[in-house]
Amino acid sequence: MGKIIAVDGPAGAGKSTVSKIVAAKLGYTYIDTGAMYRAVGLKFLRSGQPLTENFLAEITKDIEIKLDESAKVYLDGEEVTKEIRTPEVSKLASDVSKFGFVRKKLTELQREMAAKGSVIMDGRDIGTQVLPNADLKIFLTASLQERARRRFEELKLKNSSVTLDDVEKEIFLRDKQDSEREIAPLAKADDAILIDSTNLSVDEVVEKILELVISEK
Ligand code: DC
């Protein structure tokens, strides 16, 4: 069985970009847990209802979330890969992720997906909660300004009208909410290796992680 790699860190640190490349190089499966919280956020957004615990429990009871080999995301059988990438869904994903029953449901699903090994999973609580026995834990971060700049460049390519300032505020508030929530907050596991990517290229971060995988026994 191949290894289990956990990658956590704040928004825009490059977790998914880097994890996808590492997965491809190792022949591993990449699992984007943020996409799963985003799918819950999107289902809730489409309902048009105010966010109450009862209503959220109702819509998540039978929710079906699937990720395929090419990291496409399906919500109740419908492909929503692009739709979950808006700033509105980012905020809602963070909002719904505070609820214990949402976390429990997705955590169970994530553990099942990782059970076969040879996986790299990214999120906020993978090293601390979802896969505490992972073979390798990375905490990937970068300065707030750099993370905002990267996310802004991504959104610009999609013709979004948001400003760099908007993106910086959005990321700051989301990280604060994710770090301060009571259940499974964004945190570095004690045994995670910290990589600050502020001044590193994507290739340099990938290289560092691959070296760590090889040296890990
Ligand atoms: O990784 P992302 O930006 O797509 O995640 C969107 C939100 O989902 C994030 O702000 C908090 C939540 N999330 C979480 O609570 N736990 C995870 N393991 C992954 C994401």
Give the Cα-Cα-Cα angle 6, 144, 134 (nearest 5 degrees).
Answer: 5
Mutational pocket test of ligand 1: of 36, 45, 94, 125, the residue with most ligand atoms within 8 Å of the beta carbon: 94
Q: Percentage of the chain with pLDDT > 70? A: 99
Backbone phi, psi, residue 188, to 5°: -85, 130
What are the pocket residues of ligand 1 if the criterion is a CB atom closer than 6 Å to any ligand atom?
11, 33-34, 37-38, 90, 93-94, 97, 123-126, 174, 178
Residue 176 CA to ligand 1 center (angstroms) comes to 12
Is residue 81 exposed (0-12), middle (13-18) or buried (19+ Cβ within 10 Å)? middle
Q: What is the mean pLDDT of residues 103-128?
A: 97
Distance 198 CA to ligand 1 centre (A): 20
d(CA 121, CA 134): 10
- Choose which residue among 16, 36, 37, 105 to substitute to test ligand 1 binding: the one with the highest number of ligand atoms within 8 A of its C-beta: 37
Nearest CA to ligand 1 atom 3: 11
State mean pLDDT over 184-198. Answer: 98
Nearest by Cα to 126 from 115, 143, 117, 139:
139
Handedness of CA 167, 169, 170, 171 (dihedral sign): positive
Mean residue pLDDT of the chain comes to 96
DSSP 42-53: HHHHHHT----H
Burial class (CB in 10 A: 0-12, 13-18, 19+), 7: buried
Tokens of 76: 């109740």
Q: Please, which pLDDT band fits residue 53 given cuts at 50, 70 and 90?
A: very high
Q: How far apart are the first and last CA of the chain?
A: 13
pLDDT at 159: 75
Within 8 A by CB and 6+ apart from 190, the residues are none
Which pLDDT belongs to residue 217?
65
Integer Cα distance of 130 and 102 in angstroms: 13
CA of 93 to the centre of ligand 1 (A): 6
Pairing of strands 4-8, 78-79: unpaired
Among 1-5, 51-55, 134-138, which stretch is predicted with the lowest mean pLDDT?
Answer: 1-5
Helix axes 87-96, 33-47, angle to 10 degrees: 100
Residue 38: give the domain boundaries. Answer: 4-215
Beta bridge partners of 193: 138
Confidence band for 107, pLDDT divided at 50, 70 and 90? very high
Residue 204 sits in a domain of what CATH number? 3.40.50.300
- CA neighbor of 195 nearest in space, from 22, 30, 27: 22
Going from the Cα of 125 to the center of ligand 1, the distance in angstroms, rounded, reads 9
Q: Which of 124, 131, 139 to mutate to test the pocket of ligand 1 (most atoms within 8 A of CB)?
A: 124
Tens of pLDDT along 133-178? 999 999 999 999 999 999 999 888 887 788 999 999 999 999 999 9
User: To test ligand 1's pocket by mutation, which of 82, 97, 104 has the most ligand atoms within 8 angstroms of CB?
Assistant: 97
Examine the pLDDT at 87 and tell me if it is beyond 90.
no
Q: How many domains does the chain have?
A: 1
Residue of the CA atom closest to atom 16 of ligand 1: 124
User: Which is it for strands 78-79 and 73-75: parallel, antiparallel or unpaired?
Assistant: antiparallel
